[in-house]
Structure 1
Amino acid sequence: MSTHAPVARVNGLVKDFRIPGGRVLRAVDGVSFEVGRGETLGLVGESGSGKSTVARMLIRLDRPTAGSVEFEGADITALRGAALRRQVRRRMAMVFQSSSTSLNPYQRVGEVLAEPLRVHRVGEAGARGRAVETMMERVGLDPAFAGRYPRELSGGQRQRVGIARALMLDPSLIVADEPTASLDVSVQAQVVNLLQDLQRDLGLSYLFITHDLGLVRHLSHRVAVMYLGRLVEVGDTAQVFAEPAHPYAAMLVSMRRQAEHRILPAGEIPSPIDRPSGCVFRSRCPIAQARCERDVPPLVEIAPGRRAACHFPGELRPGGTDAPVHVPAAPPLVAPLTSQKGR
């Protein structure tokens, strides 16, 4: 990670939702991490772990119940109106999972891409049109597609539109929430390689949310593992994959190994409405002891750059040889999409 001040830092984020019966669902519970400049932080965990809720609070689509969000050195937790638009909306953007629902079906591609410039009053009409063409070429879209509607494009092409839209205002941080989940493997590789090229060329920072450990290992500099609303491990990606410290991280890593070396958690993930006492993972953990039921393990530094929330870090490790990560090569960055029909 960069030695400079982080581009974003979240401190003790909590998000509660009121549900019928007067009960409270705590979706996120005391999450803290930072994203360095030019860094990709992978955020992983099972569905329902709170990853997307964290992303929405970071980008200020949701306000946290407690905790704070800092971006480019300023506390943006309580910003509203013009200050929110100036300090956050122009400098931070999101790439959504579903390109078919995140793009306005009644706008042509050129209108979708020009809208951020128009809303923020950047440039004149002619300059906006040229900026749209330049951005389409940068993400590998034929500028002739500006006159098409999203429904006339393939899933991979639509996701490139989503990435282009996120880049239109020259942000420093991109929050990518499962951006490849709805794409087939070969198109996933193209999108991932495009994101890496853009990061290299533009100095972008990414919070990359996914459940695909292969993508995390290929793309992320560091990884943060979430379980039931809490961070359980944070560290350098290579280190976490080689020697996971938290039992849940060890189980995730083991899923990429041969069947005889996999570690399967017991039972089902508990309800966030009725969490286990002590460690949230203890009801499924094969090395849990009495202390785990009684005491909540804090997320503490166990080695330089490594944090884990476990009373017995490193005692459960997957065996065997890690499966290789296969990411097919992408086509040239600005290859016209007429040569990628159906992708």
Structure 2
Amino acid sequence: MTSERVTGEQVTGEQVAGDRVAGVDGLVKDFRVPGGRTLRAVDGVSLSIGRGETLGLVGESGSGKSTLARLLIRLERPTAGRIEFEGGDITALRGAALRRAVRRRMAMVFQSASTSLNPYQRIGDVLAEPLRTHHRTHKTGDGASRGPAVAAMMERVGLDPSFAGRYPHELSGGQRQRVGIARALMLDPSLIIADEPTASLDVSVQAQVVNLLQDLQGDLGLSYLFITHDLGLVRHLAHRVAVMYLGRVVEVGDTARLFAEPLHPYAATLVSMRRDAEHRIVPSGDIPSPVDRPSGCVFRSRCPIARDRCATDVPPLEETAPGRLVACHYPGDLTPGGTDAHAHAPAAPPLAAPTLT
């Protein structure tokens, strides 16, 4: 495999996000914890994902990113709010209706393929399982015809079809993650939720997986919700970025513009921590407990520019420019030094990927 690739005309996040494939509006998720208290993991989140778009979702551990993903794919039921997918309201769907509307058209790629793959199933059976569960076959209409579908998908993600007879432990980490991606694609989804899909891989293999995801998006018109701590990956892969903090979305914008000029102080601290930044802004303390949230702005207990108003008034997520949303009373007042205006759009040259793993 070579990393050389012809790229097309660059597009902005606003252009890609126009046709909404999925979205959440006012989404809330509460969990009961010992002592009769409530942990609010997701707090009034509203987001949309465009058809063919990669929306990057970033934030510290404990920000609510994975819970939001599980709500969107309906592995969790929301406490309040609305979830929309391909034009329909899926918030309250259950059983067969949920399988028809969501399970066939939305899929998830997990952080660790080692734990998300059944160690007692051969790779071919892992990939055929979605077809069996949803009564899908290949062209001839019988169960035996699923083999060609499995082989074709393995080739599409860069795996030798002969690996179908192997078990997960017989594959490398990069190969297992390709199996996870192949499994997500077996039912021809329109949206894939990728929750830290490269976190357990080394750098060269990360590059290969990211390049594969980009190729698949170009070939199949997929939409991605890409959750990660790696701002370098987000900068390379995402059309738009949503920044979460303590269960709330605090900023949304086109990737290049958000990296060049973050408006929310929390987004500014994240951007300042990237490797090529000249100055770093480190917020004081740790992220508060979602059981005991600060009043007013959720970030104000760690914010370098917090003022009296921040302790009493909750800043709404408002549009400050076309496609740019921020929840801050003083947007743009904190600027990370060394920020540049040359963030990569998704059509930038691919990450180096010297070998196939």
* TM-score, reference length from structure 1: 0.94
TM superposition shift of 1:63: 0.6
- Residue 87 (structure 1) aligns with: 101
The 1:228/1:4 distance shift into structure 2, 3 A limit, reads closer
Check whether the contact 2:300–2:306 (CA below 8 A) recurs between aligned residues: yes
Check whether the contact 1:257–1:321 (CA below 8 A) recurs between aligned residues: no
| 2:258 is aligned with 1:240 | yes
- Residue 217 (structure 2) aligns with: 199
The 1:194/1:259 distance shift into structure 2, 3 A limit, reads closer
RMSD (Å) for aligned C-alpha atoms: 1.6
Q: 2: distance between equivalents of 1:221 and 1:258?
A: 20
CA offsets, 1:33-73, max 9 Å, x none? Answer: 00000000000000010000000000000010110100000
TM superposition shift of 1:2: 3.1
| 2:92 is aligned with 1:78 | yes
User: SS at the partner of 2:16?
Assistant: coil
The structure 2 residue matched to 1:54, chosen from 51, 55, 68, is 68
The structure 2 residue matched to 1:225, chosen from 230, 240, 243, is 243
- Residue 145 (structure 1) aligns with: 163
Q: 2: distance between equivalents of 1:185 and 1:297?
A: 38
User: SS at the partner of 1:226?
Assistant: strand
Q: 2: distance between equivalents of 1:155 and 1:222?
A: 28
| 2:49 is aligned with 1:35 | yes
| 2:310 is aligned with 1:296 | no
Question: Which amino acid letter does the alignment assign opposite residue 352 of structure 2?
Answer: A
Q: 1: distance between equivalents of 2:336 and 2:18?
A: 35
- Residue 143 (structure 2) aligns with: 125
- Residue 31 (structure 2) aligns with: 17
TM superposition shift of 1:91: 0.4
| 2:129 is aligned with 1:106 | no
User: SS at the partner of 2:304?
Assistant: coil
Larger mean Cα displacement after TM superposition, 248-257 or 34-43: 248-257
The 1:260/1:121 distance shift into structure 2, 3 A limit, reads closer
CA offsets, 1:174-211, max 9 Å, x none? Answer: 00000000000000000000000000000000000001
Gaps of 5+ in 2: 1-14
Q: 1: distance between equivalents of 2:277 and 2:166?
A: 47
User: SS at the partner of 2:178?
Assistant: helix
How many equivalent residue pairs? Answer: 334
* TM-score, reference length from structure 2: 0.91
Gaps of 5+ in 1: 332-338
TM superposition shift of 1:262: 0.6
Question: Which amino acid letter does the alignment assign opposite residue 47 of structure 2?
Answer: F
Q: 2: distance between equivalents of 1:170 and 1:128?
A: 14
Question: Which amino acid letter does the alignment assign opposite residue 62 of structure 2?
Answer: G
Question: Which amino acid letter does the alignment assign opposite residue 22 of structure 1?
Answer: G
TM superposition shift of 1:5: 3.1
- Residue 116 (structure 1) aligns with: 130
- Residue 177 (structure 1) aligns with: 195
The 1:258/1:99 distance shift into structure 2, 3 A limit, reads closer
Q: 2: distance between equivalents of 1:259 and 1:113?
A: 42
TM superposition shift of 1:324: 8.2
Q: 2: distance between equivalents of 1:3 and 1:259?
A: 28
Question: Which amino acid letter does the alignment assign opposite residue 258 of structure 2?
Answer: V
Q: 2: distance between equivalents of 1:259 and 1:120?
A: 48
Q: 1: distance between equivalents of 2:288 and 2:166?
A: 46
- Residue 329 (structure 1) aligns with: 352
Q: 1: distance between equivalents of 2:207 and 2:19?
A: 31
Check whether the contact 2:211–2:351 (CA below 8 A) recurs between aligned residues: no
TM superposition shift of 1:327: 6.2
